Amino acid sequence: MKHRERKAQNRYRRLCLTTIGTAALALPLVAVALAPPRPRAQAPVVQPPTPQWQVDAGGKIGFEVASIKVDKSVDEDMHANFPLSLGANFRPVGNLFSVTNEPLRTLIGFAYKLSVGQTRFLMPGLPSWVDQARFDISARAAIDNPTKDQFRLMVQSLLADRFELTMHHETRQVPISELVLAKPGKTGPQLTPHVDDAKCGAAGRLDAPPQSADAFTFPCGAIVIGAAPPTAPGRVTGGGRDVSMDYIAAFLTGTAYQGVSSDRLVVNRTGLDGEYDFWVEMVPQFNGPAQSAIPPDPNGPTFLEALQDQLGLKLKSTTGPVDILVIDHIEEPSPN
């Protein structure tokens, strides 16, 4: 009897030791499983600063009411009630915004203050209908007499609300053409600082070829090609008044028909601040058939030659970091 009792007690002790040992092994595993995971260190998302022109325009603002329709006419003429260009040229239109037969790419460029050429480099991922579809938009601002930049902000809101446009910023290394001075500290004879708004004229052709920047009657804040007669047949004249070097670089982006590489973004690296007046004359160059019945002047300068000899500028191919607006989502608007 005593032998059986001792045997049972030994069996009980072995069972207790086995249970305690198993529990001792299990406790650390449970502790690890229940402990909260350590947060992984994440690189902060750095958003570029808000462009100063948006800050000056007062920040986000929308239209009070807007109508959007697809333009199904065969008419190729595009119209807006004020210039949708990068420059400051603007005529008062009250609180109305109106465009007819405009592609969405033009409206996106207007809203974000980019040239059409820049949207092709700085806004990758846009679907084909952005260029193919045409839209008629009539909208009314909630404020009186908005500025051109305030209209830009309203169109940004319109794109987000009606076209569901969303995007994010990325910095990418891409091929670029730097616009630089051909000679350090010196501009060409046909590129001069803008000093007199009184010389700004209405849009239209000049009666005679310009002999200096002072001869321009172009509106301030605009770049125009073909608005003045050339000094010889088979050439083309263009220029601008009261425009920045950033504007000139943006205007050059994508202008492959003038001899500028179409696969590179043109970036201002001149170091020139302020606004300038300029005029330039060159022999037009086209990738396809000539767009004029007048044959090109064989003795005239190419665009790149005119850029250097007349404006004192040149283009330098390189690679550099560029802030890209990547399109995450965009949809065609529902009819209204």
Regarding pTM above 0.75, the answer is: yes
Sequence-distant (6+) residues with CB within 8 A of 244 are 268, 274, 275, 276
Instruction: Say which residue, 65 or 197, is predicted with more confidence.
Output: 65
Share of the chain above pLDDT 70, in %: 74
Which letter, b or e, does each residue of 276-292 get, where b requires 16 or more Cβ atoms within 10 Å of its Cβ?
bbbbbbbbbbeeeeeee
**pLDDT band at residue 249 using 50, 70 and 90 as cut-offs:** very high
Q: Where are the beta strands (DSSP E) in the chain?
A: 63-70, 79-80, 96-103, 134-141, 166-181, 191-193, 222-228, 236-243, 265-268, 276-282, 313-329
CB contact set of 185 (below 8 Å; sequence gap of 6+): none
pLDDT band at 61 (very low <50, low <70, confident <90, very high): very high
What is the average pLDDT across 204-217?
Answer: 52
Confidence of residue 92 (pLDDT cuts 50, 70, 90): confident
Residue 54: φ, ψ to 5°: -70, -40
